[in-house]
Structure 1
Amino acid sequence: MQPLNQATLMQLTDSALVTPSPVQLPRYRRTDAHVGVVHLGLGAFHRAHQAMVFDALLQRGDPRWGVLGVAMRTTELADALAAQDGLYAVQVASREALRWQVVGAVLQACVAARESAQVVAAMAAPGTRWVTLTVTEKGYGPALAALLVQGLAARRAAGLGGLTIASCDNLSDNGRKLQQLCVDAAAQNDAALAQWIDTACAFPNSMVDRIVPAATAQHRSDAAKALGLVDACALGTEEFWEWVIERRFVDDEDGDALAAAGVHVVEDVKPFEEAKLRMLNGSHTAIALIGAVLGLPTVADCIARPAIHRFVHGFMTDVMMPQLQRPGLPAYRDALLARFANPELRHKVHQIATDSSLKIPLRWTATVQARLLAGASVEPLALATAVWMRYLLGADEQGQAYAISDPLGETLQATAQQHRGDVPGTVRALLAVTSIWGEVLPHDARWTARVEHWLQVIRRQGVAAALAQLHPSD
């Protein structure tokens, strides 16, 4: 079987003219496209998200959105993509159907640690208009700043204008943080360059969302069957995607172009960011902990249970949504529930439960505080917190042990084990972790009482009984 590359893509395209292909293929001439976007952080998420948006723009006849995909350190993916002329197939899964799409937006691929000169030259090229990033929060450090500043310095020296530099990650206020990182790094050696970066470049805040599981051998096998070609870079994702970006661009017309491809271009990203954090991420954590204790392997397995579906619906509707300002919250909630139910994603609960001590403060704690201050119900959050405390015992209700992957995992598990037979003691000890719950909640009698109540139910009767008691009329 031949590999996927530009030559074999042309064969597929020619065949599709005779016999319609079930695989969506690029309808544009890739030779007419040029690199207008340098993307830092080449990986599965970018290839199933921004690259597909840029592919849609190329499909619309705008050749300026070709991508140089830059892996920061690891070489395997970049080299595999280079061997395939940047082409790869994506399996897009909804509950109703699977479809395949060959994405052609990545025109070149390289590795920053190995080919930094190529990356700098690309940022300084006249045709480059954007830099996008999907690096982790931990990646916002000196090495990233140095690379960006080097590229921007070369661009300024060539007498070219600034770039739109868009962070596409889960970091709140990401555009401003990246802007400050670059300005501070440049200012150490060149105050004029720092001023130019601050004024000539645009750093929009953005929020991105799409579940992209790690690529597997099954994806590659399925791609071979669909394409009749070997694709070493095949991956899968869900039908849903979202990119919300602040209207802050070097070229104002870019906002209209992105909007035509389905991107939300808005004045303020914050309401969308908060809704994602509290409704999607907050629910995900709750589902993962419930699933782990019940011994259910995936999010879809959890949501298939009516009691958990009802819990998550109420968690979002009654507790999270009243605190949020995003437009169209009921439709957003329903879209999230449909995503959670998608069995094709195989999103493992223990993967999502990772680092819960870091996630809970961002996803739950502020809502608990706001609800208590307003005198409103905190029941679903109190129950979820009790489930978290039960999860820390390190074994599900069938006695199957599991590892707790968390920076505080050993300490929290030891605390839970120490107070195993003492519900009030467990609640006091675990709520006393101020890095998770802050300084106020551990001393709030109402909150403490509700968490104790639900932990008592869970210890005596199990999580399923607690969920049933939360919705006794169902």
Structure 2
Amino acid sequence: MPSLNRHTLHQLPERGVRVPGADRQHLTPGVLHLGLGAFHRAHQALVFDQLLQAGHRHWGVHGVAMRSTTLADALARQDGLYAVQVASQQGLHWQVPGALLRTSVAAREPEVVRQAIAAPGTRWITLTVTEKGYTSELAALLRQGLAERQQAGLPGLTLASCDNLSDNGRRLQALCTAEPGALSDWITAHCAFPNSMVDRIVPAATPERLQAARQALGLDDDGALGTEAFWEWVIERRFVDPDDGPALASAGVTVVDDVRPFEEAKLRLLNGSHSAMACLGAVLGLAVIADCIGTPAIRQFVHSLMSHEVAPHLSRRDWPAYRDALLARFGNPELKHSVHQIATDSSQKIPLRWPPSAERQLAAGQRISHLAFCAAIYLRYLRGVNELGQPYTVNDPLAEPLQALARQHAGDAAATVRALLTQPALWGPSLPQDARWTRAVQQHLERIQAVGALAALHELNAATPA
């Protein structure tokens, strides 16, 4: 079967597949995106494609994979074209965005990336590279490219972090200006670093998805993805070119003065619930998030977690509607979002997702039973074997030391809590010192070990006031 590319684009079915309308042959990239993964290609790239379709010709993308060559090279062979299956309550449709014009790999060709940063046509840099924090290698790459830009007398750039990090724009700015000197002064004066929040559920690509793409397109597509209809991009009104704000808004982006209410709601409602369900699903032997939320006890737990222990500390005013939308999104059967994919790097994600809510609940003298259950099921998850006796891989940079402690104390809830709930890198400095927190986590872990996770969850739900 021939592959999807610019020469075969005309072979796509006339109905059921949306194709690029802009003349891609005469476009040059205006956006350099670092982190050429599934999320960017099913989120920002579709926004940029919409802008291109509307005649805004400077939103084409040069996509950069940081290390992996496989995807970047596959997309290069396909002229940057790939299909996205969008699942909504109305059904499924496929679209082929045309925003990705070029691909590179930073580890293989750093000079190409530096030149792209310094290219006259580049206006923006966007990033989806990490939830763990930015590295010195990334700082060096950005600073070298910006230095070339400064030396060429070119204008500054808007650098928009779309990573799942609090205050991500300021973090990126601090990274780029950490070394005092003329370059940092120029970056501060001429570049903009808006905070940003992005939200869309994008499962990792699977062989099944690639096969579905072949059937729908009649072409091979090594970059095919699936996603949900819902998406949100909230960005701070802080741009080098002020006209970019209205342009993004015309494509559905929410441009605001303060991103924090949206950022906190996503981290603690969506991401926090995702982490809880991922650990629960792994322990129970469930495969995907739709299986988890389709279990009534888990759905009730997640609803109560969000409503009573997380939302009271949020400043996003429409949180009830956002919560209800999340519950519906979690149940989308077409997404097949693996619990083990979501549980990846949990030690890096949990500090942002659970402790802030637990600390505020404790400070207010309010209940922490659901957040403590989240911590308990994570401690059980670290054992690496589900309740059916089936082993699974804990994919985490701290997996080895954390799993060693979990296995050493398996079956002894008190010892497990003493060993793992005192890790400040996971829980922060204050939670491990709070006896109310450690006692609640230990009690839940004891019940999980005694009767199983689902039965323990039923007990918690029965004891929770409406």
TM-score between both structures, scaled by the size of structure 2 = 0.92
Structure 2 residue runs of 5 or longer lacking an equivalent are none
Change in Cα spacing, 1:29 to 1:469, as seen in structure 2 (3 Å) is same
Task: Find the aligned partners of 1:371 and 1:200 in 2 and give their Cα distance.
Answer: 42
Change in Cα spacing, 1:312 to 1:161, as seen in structure 2 (3 Å) is same
Please tell me whether the aligned partners of residues 283 and 386 of structure 2 are also in contact (alpha carbons under 8 angstroms). Answer: yes
1:75 aligns with 2:49: no
- 5 Å-filtered alignment, 1:70-149, equals 70-94=64-88, 96-137=90-131, 140-149=134-143
The structure that is helix-richer by fraction is 1
Q: Which string of whole-angstrom CA distances, capped at 9 and with x for unpartnered residues, describes residues 301-333 of structure 1?
A: 111111110100111011100011113101111
Change in Cα spacing, 1:33 to 1:421, as seen in structure 2 (3 Å) is closer
Give 1:7's aligned residue: 7
Task: Find the aligned partners of 1:148 and 1:405 in 2 and give their Cα distance.
Answer: 29
Which secondary structure does the structure 2 equivalent of 1:184 belong to?
coil
Task: Find the aligned partners of 1:110 and 1:279 in 2 and give their Cα distance.
Answer: 35
Q: CA deviation at 1:338?
A: 1.6
Change in Cα spacing, 1:262 to 1:470, as seen in structure 2 (3 Å) is same
Task: Find the aligned partners of 1:131 and 1:255 in 2 and give their Cα distance.
Answer: 15
Task: Find the aligned partners of 1:368 and 1:287 in 2 and give their Cα distance.
Answer: 17
Task: Find the aligned partners of 1:232 and 1:131 in 2 and give their Cα distance.
Answer: 25
Which secondary structure does the structure 2 equivalent of 1:194 belong to?
helix
Which secondary structure does the structure 2 equivalent of 1:351 belong to?
helix
Q: CA deviation at 1:181?
A: 2.1
Q: CA deviation at 1:249?
A: 0.1
Which secondary structure does the structure 1 equivalent of 2:93 belong to?
strand
Change in Cα spacing, 1:209 to 1:399, as seen in structure 2 (3 Å) is same
1:471 aligns with 2:465: no
Task: Find the aligned partners of 2:69 and 2:379 in 1 and give their Cα distance.
Answer: 41
Task: Find the aligned partners of 2:412 and 2:66 in 1 and give their Cα distance.
Answer: 49
Change in Cα spacing, 1:79 to 1:449, as seen in structure 2 (3 Å) is closer
24-33 vs 310-319, greater mean Cα deviation? 24-33
- For residue 401 of structure 1, the aligned residue among 391, 398, 411 is 391
Please tell me whether the aligned partners of residues 357 and 406 of structure 1 are also in contact (alpha carbons under 8 angstroms). Answer: yes
TM-score between both structures, scaled by the size of structure 1 = 0.90
The AA in structure 1 aligned to 2:142 is: L
Task: Find the aligned partners of 1:438 and 1:145 in 2 and give their Cα distance.
Answer: 26
Please tell me whether the aligned partners of residues 95 and 343 of structure 1 are also in contact (alpha carbons under 8 angstroms). Answer: no
Task: Find the aligned partners of 1:212 and 1:134 in 2 and give their Cα distance.
Answer: 13
Q: Which string of whole-angstrom CA distances, capped at 9 and with x for unpartnered residues, describes residues 358-393 of structure 1?
A: 333221112112111111111111222222233334
Which secondary structure does the structure 2 equivalent of 1:343 belong to?
coil
- 5 Å-filtered alignment, 1:135-174, equals 135-137=129-131, 140-174=134-168
1:184 aligns with 2:178: yes
- For residue 375 of structure 1, the aligned residue among 346, 365, 389 is 365
How many residues are aligned here? 464
Change in Cα spacing, 1:448 to 1:44, as seen in structure 2 (3 Å) is closer
Structure 1 residue runs of 5 or longer lacking an equivalent are none
- 5 Å-filtered alignment, 1:189-338, equals 191-338=181-328
**Root-mean-square deviation over aligned CA pairs:** 2.4
Q: CA deviation at 1:53?
A: 0.7
1:386 aligns with 2:380: no
Task: Find the aligned partners of 2:134 and 2:425 in 1 and give their Cα distance.
Answer: 22
Which secondary structure does the structure 2 equivalent of 1:99 belong to?
strand
Q: CA deviation at 1:271?
A: 1.6
Task: Find the aligned partners of 2:120 and 2:159 in 1 and give their Cα distance.
Answer: 15
The share of aligned pairs that are identical, in percent, is 62
